[in-house]
Structure 1
Amino acid sequence: MDIGVETRLNRLATNGRMVNIPMDHGITLGATAGLRDIESTIDAVTRGGADSILTQKGLASRVHPNKNGAGYVIHLNASTLLGPDANDKRRTGMVKEAIRAGADAVSYHMNVGSNHEPEQLADLAEVTRVASEFGIPVLAMTYARGPNIDEHDSDNLAHAVRLAEEIGADIAKTAYSGDSESYQRVTEAVRIPVIMAGGSPQTDRQMLENVSGAMEAGAAGVSMGRSVFQHDDPRRMTRAVSSIVHDALSVEEALEISKL
């Protein structure tokens, strides 16, 4: 592995395990709860144990003073819920812009099986090509989404993360299949780290059970957005997630130490 990529990957994880909090949802959802005062949310989640933060490039100046030494990922595409097709993610930034903004890595969202797969596939390939020139890691958010696609089927998810590895990404993020046994088929489909996407918010216990199941299945960590930054107490929720990812605590223990 390129020394630049390896060095920057280490900034995003603790002992190879990662708790990433994506907060790029402002384009998709608008200034929703947890994102209006994003400075306070970033401070809270990084104090709670987040290894890295993820936003769009325009928020870099609001991220750096508040991330308490955590890593930083800049996301390079987006869509809105107001638009004609939320699966049609379009470029919002370039690798060079992310580097200038102080990012340790870049990320790109791709919907495998959607009508926009061909364009997104080519675009992700270009992102990995340029990123490799600068030694900056790529986090590929590869989801199984499209007409008649089961977004939580383990075979579809395994295909999605394998695509990420084949095209040159350094980390693959995808949805949870619902149980540890089936998710193991996803993590074993590749040799790059797989991190679990949080998805739509559920109860605290259910989210933590998903985290625990993913880690048991061999995931390298999680990337959880709305279930953390929209939480009544983002710091405590992050602490609970981090205790499972980094300290291998049970769900009950995580709920107890975080006082959720």
Structure 2
Amino acid sequence: MSEFDLLDTESGNAVVVALDHGIGMGAVEEFEDPATTLEAVLEGEPDGVLVGPHFARRYSDAFTASDADVLVTADFVAPSSQPGENVGPWVQTPAFDTDRLLACDPVGVKSVLAFGRHDRRAFERNVDYISALADELDGTGVPHIVETVMWGKEIPARFETDARYVANACRIGWELGADILKVPYTGDVDSFEPIVSDAPVPTMVLGGPSSGSVRATLDDVAGAMAAGARGLIVGRSIWQTEDPAAVVAALRDVVHRGASVESAWG
């Protein structure tokens, strides 16, 4: 049995669909109607869905009717102060207190630790927040999921999945109190395996912007699982597809049954 309910599955892994994008990005394409997108995702029977606490409250009936666990996002992260625009500078701040988060009875609370900022004070506030939230969740039984990302302009986009950067970010993440890491896949098993094995906490992979290819997403997830990852927390690469339920089902085959990409997706 896993230390955490999130990973208390037959395989010990989890397929989680991220649907928290509306908090900072607004009505994202293919997520304009939250009820419809949620319904399509739940049809695929994911192990969990990551949402904002008020989303969880407003759509509680849908979650109750499904077997999916709820995970909640703790902070507001937006690419701009202009709603729905990606023009910078990006904004991050704590958005919900711990009582509000825990009222959702979640199996995980996620926050973002973003590297590469020009603004040192903003990064310091981010570190303070991550460590404080870890302390507040300690002893509750709800794991703190820290998403380590290289979003700041001081890190060129080509290095966002660089193994050295990802390894260092993961180390900092769990040293600050992460119970579970949500990280970029580095692109191959050989470079990702040491990152996973060196971390004393479970590692799950994130999705980022949709690649437009379900097979590419499945290939990355299969590689991450072969390296020892415990599953995924992915959003747009699932619900910006023609059939989100089918994609979730394929991911379940890969993550829980070790199926090949070819057999999972045909």
TM-score (norm 1): 0.89
1:98 is matched with: 101
Q: Does 2:77 correspond to 1:79? A: yes
- Contiguous gaps of at least 5 residues in structure 1: none
2:125 corresponds, among 111, 119, 126, to: 119
Aligned residues: 251
1:42 CA drift (Å): 2.4
**Secondary structure of the residue that 2:111 maps to in structure 1?**
strand
Conserved in 1, the CA contact under 8 Å of 2:11 and 2:257? Answer: no
| Residues 107 and 139 in structure 1, CA contact (< 8 A), matched pair in contact too | yes
- Residue equivalent to 2:224: 214
In the other structure, the counterpart of 2:84 is none
Pick the aligned partner of 1:34 from 27, 30, 36: 30
For the structure 1 residues 249 and 193, does the alpha-carbon distance in structure 2 shift closer, same or farther, using more than 3 Å as the test? Answer: same
Following superposition, the deviation at residue 60 of structure 1 comes to 1.4
Q: Could you report, residue by residue, the CA deviation over 1:198-232 in whole angstroms, capped at 9, with x for unpaired residues?
A: 11211111111111111111111111101112211
Question: For residues 61 and 111 of structure 1, what CA distance do their matches in structure 2 show?
Answer: 27
Checking the alignment, whether the CA contact within 8 Å between 1:155 and 1:185 is kept in structure 2 is no
Shift of 1:171: 0.6
The residue type equivalent to 1:97 in the other structure is R
Q: TM-score, normalising length from structure 2?
A: 0.87
Following the alignment from structure 1 to structure 2, what is the Cα–Cα distance between the partners of residues 6 and 113? Answer: 32
Work out whether 1:132 is the aligned partner of 2:141.
Answer: no
Amino acid at match of 2:29: A
- CA positional deviation for 1:40: 3.1
After superposition, what is the alpha-carbon deviation per residue over 1:214-256, rounded to whole angstroms, capped at 9, x for unaligned? 1111111111101112211110111111111111111111112
Partner of 2:85: none
> Given residue 98 of structure 1, which amino acid in structure 2 is its aligned partner?
L
Q: Does 1:8 align with 2:5?
A: yes
Match in the other structure for 2:92: 89
Which residue of the partner structure matches residue 66 of structure 1?
A: 62
Question: Which whole-Å deviations, capped at 9, do the CAs of 1:106-157 have from their partners, x for residues lacking one?
Answer: 1101103323322111100000100114332111111133303521111111
Deviation digits for residues 71-94 of structure 1 (CA, Å, limit 9, x no counterpart): 1111011222332422x3211112
2:113 is equivalent to residue 110 of structure 1 = yes
Aligned match of 1:164: 173
Aligned to 1:201: 210
Q: Which ranges of 4 or more aligned residues in structure 1 deviate by more than 3 Å?
A: 5-11
Question: Residues 14 and 73 from structure 1, CA distance in 2 versus in 1: closer, same or farther, beyond 3 angstroms?
Answer: farther
How far has the Cα of 1:14 moved from its partner?
A: 4.8
Q: 1:18 aligns with which of 14, 19, 25?
A: 14
